[in-house]
Structure formats: structure tokens, C-alpha cells
Amino acid sequence: MREYAVVGGGIGGASIAKYLSHKGRDVVLFEKESYLGGCSSTFSHAGFSYNTGATTLVGYEEGREVKEFFESVGFTPRLVPTEPTITIIQGEKITPRHKELDAFVAALEANYSHAKHAEFWRLVHDLCEEFYKMRGYYYSNKNIFAKARSLMSFSPLFFKFFTYLRTDAKSFIKKFYGDVSDEYMKFLDAQIMIVAQAKSEHVNFLTAALSLGYTFGQNYYVVGGFSKLFEEMMSGVEVRTKSEIKKIVPRQKHYELHLKNEIIECKNLILNSTVYDSGKLFESGEIKVFYRKYEKLNNHQSSFMLYMTIQSDADFAHHYQIIEARNFSHAISNSLFVSVSDKNDNEISPKGYYTITASVHTDVRFWYDKAAYKAKKRELEYCLKELISQKLGIRHEQIVHLFSATPTTFERYIKRAQLGGNAIIMQNILPRLPSNDTPFRGLYHVGDSVYPAQGWIGVMLGVKNLQRLLHV
Ligand SMILES: Cc1cc2nc3c(=O)[nH]c(=O)nc-3n(C[C@H](O)[C@H](O)[C@H](O)COP(=O)(O)OP(=O)(O)OC[C@H]3O[C@@H](n4cnc5c(N)ncnc54)[C@H](O)[C@@H]3O)c2cc1C
């Protein structure tokens, strides 16, 4: 009987398994794929390596959650700071998102002149600083009393930021500026979308500020790709890759995990599968019913990915966001996030080559129609390739490899089609969200579909919450 089993080696699953192992607990991690990282992984295709989804690491700074976690398990990742964090291209306008506030405001002013910029972005900057200083809150869903107690722990945060929680960000921004152009609003919305997974009219202003302000923190490029980071971090932890858990049977005091040819028993089970998908692992019973209530959180949002290898000696920024006037076909967004490997990172691409990971938001349901699937994929792939080539100055003959992935591809590999976890919209208030614990003895969750949100910062705050709930 194992003390802890973790199902899934994404950011959340790998991190909590590392933590438990570091604390001397008996733990085994099962990952379906041959590499770790899930949405934040690296895979090979035709001899080239690509980051699957995530390309930026944030929160690795003094007093911040990602650094605190890595230090607590004695791990130092190999990182290169990115500056500017993102280069935003909207029509002919190119705006670097500098880490330094005044430098960014000067660049912004040159492109979207407005007397209120300095005041607005100072507010965004300061809200981020104040938010990440807050400590002591946690969230439990074990039972009604634990939930009520945990919600009380948010009261200092709630009172401090009340003004920014009660209005939607779009109204707040319009009122603050007095007048905002449609173009500038699109500039803001594209950035809010990549963090909050929703646009300004659906999120409160605090969420918008945290989304717009994450580039004021130090962002990093991960050398060798994200799966390398996990490989290095997980040294000393029992990890079983190519091990899909097909079924889970709850017993009175333990869980049975069914693999293809084996059954493993564990006292405590931590699922890194999404709450929308975890119910499928249980054949019947109250746990399956429990997951049904979270199906309504599934917004069917996902990503269409374009992966490219180019041969070039040019210099590129690490990350670009290209904002178009209208949504792309078969997508739900007008913005494309493009990440280019570091020129000196020959672990991910050979010298003289770059690998590119580009993503645009789409809806899972656009890809269900099997008859139209291939044509839609080709159309969007072509459109994104042309746009990237044009904006980054890449000639067609420099593209040596190119392919794309849809939500269906993600489902096939990492067993989830919805990506980005729970959007931080105003309706998804905390008591409605799943926590890292459950009402069932020994059953826990971690990852971007549970408290509090997606990305390195969101998932790591969930890992921290889970550490507290596990009392380890
Ligand atoms: C296109 C895109 C770009 C992004 N960019 C960034 C970024 O730049 N920076 C950032 O911080 N965040 C980014 N994110 C968000 C971030 O990648 C995710 O929020 C985060 O990686 C999710 O981690 P997770 O812990 O939920 O695990 P997941 O990534 O969901 O991984 C879960 C793992 O569990 C495994 N698994 C599932 N079911 C089973 C089973 N039954 N048995 C065994 N294994 C199983 C899967 O194979 C997978 O490896 C991006 C996301 C996407 C989609």
C-alpha cells in the first residue's frame, strides 16, 4: 500500500510529488506520456524539440511562490531572464512590455498616446505588488465548516481590494481613462486574455490588473525546454512515465489505481487530471456524482497550436503577441502568442535553427466535426504561418518543419481538450470553485482547473494550498 499516489505529471502533479518525496513521504507519480509537464512540457517531432504550450516562467523572484517552492525542495532551474517580456505587435505598432514601469509607459505613450497612462499603469503595478505581499489565506472544500473557516482567511484580501473586485474591468478602465480607443482596448484585452482566460468585460479589475501587470515581475525563458526542468527537478522521486491510470476504484480506506496490467493501492490520491475529466476515471458512486457539479465550469476554451522550425541567423525576441483587428477563423481570439527559442539554447534547437511555439485561443467544439477537421486545420495553420512570417521577417524557404495541433491533439496526448483551466470570470467566485481537497477521505486535486487558476503562478499557489491542507 503506497502512502501517496499522484496521477499526472503536469506542473501541479510533479511539484506536489517532489514536495512529498522531499519531506520523506512514500510517493509515486504516474504520467501517461513519456515526458513530464503536460501543458508545460517539451516534445520531439521529426528530430526537433518544441515547448508544447507554456513558454514563459513567472514568479521566480524573492518572496514569490515559484521561487519559494523550488528553494523549499532544493532545486535551482536553469533560466534566462527575458527583457522585454513580450513584444506586442498591433498593426504597425510595436510595443515592448518592459519590466521597468517608466520604460514601458514611455514605449506605450509613443504608440497609444494618453494623458492617463502613467497613472493607470502605476495602479496596475502597485496592485500586483500589494497582492503578492498578502499571505495567510487558504481554501478548503472538505466540508461546510472547513470551507467557511477558509473563506474567512480571505477577508483581509477582500477588504483591501474591495474597490477593484466589485466592478468589471472594462467599465473600470473606461471610467478611469474617460475615453479609450477600440484599438487600445484590444491591446489590453489581448493581454488580459492570456492570463485570466477571459476579456475585460468578464473579469473584475483586480484580475485584469494582475493579468496586465505580470510582465512587471521577472519573466524567464527555460533552458532546454520545460520537460528538462521537470526531469531535473524530479531527480530522486519515483516517477512512472508511460503509465496511464485507466480506472480508479475507491475502497473503504484506500484507492485502487488500475493501470493496463497492474493495480496499485494507495491511502492518499492526488489527481492532476482536470476536474472536468477526473469523473471519467470512476465508474460510478458518489465521487463520480461529485465531479458532475464542476462540469458547468468547463468553458470549452482551448488552444490551436502552430509549431515551426526555421533556419536563421537573425536575432529574435523570446515572445511576441500579434494582435489583429478581427478573430482568426476557427478561433475565438484576434491575438496570437509566438515564442521563439533562445539563440544560444542548443539543447532545444541546433545552432542556426530556432523552434517556434505559437498559440491562439479556440473552442474545443469547433474541432468535433470530423468531416471538416482537416480543412479547418490547414486553413488556420496557413493563416498563422503567413502572419508569423510577415511580422517576424521569416522567408518561406527558411521554414524547415511545420505542423499544428488542435484541442483534439491535446486530448489524445494529455487527456484534456479544455486548456487554460477555470477562467477567472466574475461568476466563478471562490466558493463555487473546486479546492485542492475534497469531501472524500484521502482524495485531493492539483492543477489549473482547481483553486486558484492557471499558469505557473496559479498552479503553484494551488500546490502551496495543498501543502497546507495535507499538513505535511
Ligand atoms: C498554449 C498554452 C500556453 C501557455 N503558456 C503559458 C506560459 O507561457 N506560462 C505559464 O505560466 N502558463 C502557461 N500556460 C498555462 C500552463 O501551461 C497550465 O496552466 C499548466 O501547465 C497546467 O498544469 P497542470 O498542473 O494543470 O497540469 P496539466 O498540464 O494539465 O498536466 C496534467 C498531466 O496529467 C497527465 N494525465 C492526465 N490524466 C492521466 C491519467 N489518467 N494517467 C496518467 N497521467 C495522466 C497528462 O498526461 C498531463 O501530463 C499555457 C497553456 C497553454 C495551453
Q: What separation in Å is there between the alpha carbon of 420 and the centre of ligand 1?
A: 8
User: Residue with C-alpha cell 486548456?
Assistant: 419
Atom of ligand 1 minimally distant from the CA of 421 = 19
43 and 159 share one domain: no
Question: Nearest to residue 248, comparing CAs of 227, 231, 264?
Answer: 264
**Coil, helix or strand at residue 290:** helix
Residue list, ligand 1 pocket, CB within 6 Å: 7-13, 30-33, 38-40, 53-56, 58, 244-245, 272-273, 303, 359, 414-416, 419-421, 447-448, 454-456, 459
Distance 174 CA to ligand 1 centre (A): 34
Ligand 1, atom 12, lies closest to the CA of: 455
CA of 211 to the centre of ligand 1 (A): 19
Q: Whose CA is nearest to atom 10 of ligand 1?
A: 455
Residue ranges making up the domain that contains 360: 301-414
**Is residue 268 assigned to a domain?**
yes
Instruction: Report the b/e string of 385-422 with b at 16+ CB within 10 A.
Output: bebbbeebebeeebbebbebbbbbbbbeebbbbbbbbb
Which of 11, 15, 18, 40 most suits a substitution to test ligand 1, by most atoms within 8 Å of the C-beta? Answer: 40
Closest residue to atom 7 of ligand 1, CA basis: 54
Q: How far is the CA of 114 from the centre of ligand 1 (A)?
A: 38
Q: Is residue 152 part of a domain?
A: yes
Looking at the fold, whether 75 and 100 belong to one and the same domain comes out as: no
- Give yes or no: residues 308 and 281 share one domain: no
* C-alpha 376 to ligand 1 mean position (Å): 25
On whether both 205 and 97 belong to a single domain, the answer is yes
Residues 245 and 271 in one domain: yes
Q: What is the CATH number of the domain that holds 229?
A: 3.50.50.60
Q: How far is CA 442 from the centre of its chain?
A: 26
The pLDDT, as a whole number, for residue 265 is 98
Does residue 150 belong to any structural domain of this protein?
yes
The answer on 408 and 313 residing in a single domain is yes
The answer to whether the peptide bond before residue 350 is cis (omega within 30 degrees of 0) is no
Q: Which atom of ligand 1 is least distant from the CA of 457?
A: 11
Residue 7 lies in a domain: yes
Domain presence at residue 162: yes
Is residue 177 exposed (0-12), middle (13-18) or buried (19+ Cβ within 10 Å)? Answer: middle
> Which of 216, 246, 278 corresponds to the end of one domain?
216
17/57 same-domain check: yes
Is residue 421 in a domain?
Answer: no
- 159 C-alpha to center of ligand 1: Å? 33
Would you give the distance in Å from CA 95 to the centre of its chain?
23
CB contact at 8 A, 351 and 287: no
pTM exceeds cut of 0.95: yes
- Testing ligand 1's pocket by substitution, the residue of 7, 29, 39, 408 carrying the most ligand atoms inside 8 A of its CB is 39
Q: How far apart are CA 343 and CA 69, in angstroms?
A: 29
- Nearest CA owner, ligand 1 atom 48: 38
| Ligand 1 center to 274 CA (angstroms) | 9
51 Cα to the center of ligand 1, angstroms: 12
In a shared domain, residues 325 and 389: yes
Q: Where do runs of H (alpha helix) occur along 198-299? A: 205-213, 226-233, 286-292
Among residues 178, 213, 219, the alpha carbon closest in space to that of 195 is found at 213
Closest ligand 1 atom to Cα of 449: 26
Residue given cell 530556432 in the structure block: 354
Ligand 1 atom with least separation from CA of 456: 11
Residues 164 and 243 in one domain: no
Query: For the chain, how many structural domains are there in total?
Result: 3
- Residue 393 has phi, psi (to 5 degrees) of 70, 40
Q: Is 278 helix (H, G, I), strand (E, B) or coil?
A: helix
The predicted pLDDT at position 284 comes to: 87
Among the atoms of ligand 1, which is closest to the Cα of residue 359? Answer: 1
Whose Cα sits closest to atom 2 in ligand 1? 53
Nearest ligand 1 atom to alpha carbon 36? 49
**147 domain residue, yes or no:** yes
How many Å apart are CA 83 and CA 29, to the nearest integer? Answer: 35
One domain, residues 276 and 212:
no
d(CA 382, CA 399): 13
Q: What is the largest CA-CA distance in the chain?
A: 66
Is the backbone of residue 142 left (phi > 0), alpha (psi -120 to 50) or beta?
alpha
Give 442 Cα–ligand 1 centroid separation in angstroms: 23
Q: Are residues 409 and 308 in the same domain?
A: yes
Domain end point (choices 187, 216, 245): 216
Q: Establish if 423 belongs to a structural domain.
A: no
d(CA 413, CA 399): 25
Output the CA–CA distances (angstroms, integers) from residue 418 to 87, 104, 426, in the order listed.
27, 33, 20
pLDDT (tens digit, 0 to 9) for every residue of the chain, 472 residues total? 999 999 999 999 999 999 999 999 999 999 999 999 999 999 999 999 999 999 999 999 999 999 999 999 999 999 999 999 999 999 999 999 999 999 999 999 999 999 999 999 999 999 999 999 999 999 999 999 999 999 999 999 999 999 999 999 999 999 999 999 999 999 999 999 999 999 999 999 999 999 999 999 999 999 999 999 999 999 999 999 999 999 999 999 999 999 999 999 999 999 999 999 999 999 989 999 999 999 999 999 999 999 999 999 999 999 999 999 999 999 999 999 999 999 999 999 999 999 999 999 999 999 999 999 999 999 999 999 999 999 999 999 999 999 999 999 999 999 999 999 999 999 999 999 999 999 999 999 999 999 999 999 999 999 999 999 999 9
Pocket test for ligand 1, best of 19, 221, 270, 272 (most atoms within 8 A of CB): 272
* pLDDT for 244: 98
Last residue of a domain, one of 178, 201, 216: 216
Domain check: are 187 and 134 in the same one?
A: yes
Q: How many Å lie between the centroid of ligand 1 and the Cα of residue 94? A: 30
Residue of minimum CA distance from atom 38 in ligand 1 = 273
The rounded Å distance from CA 460 to ligand 1 centre is 12
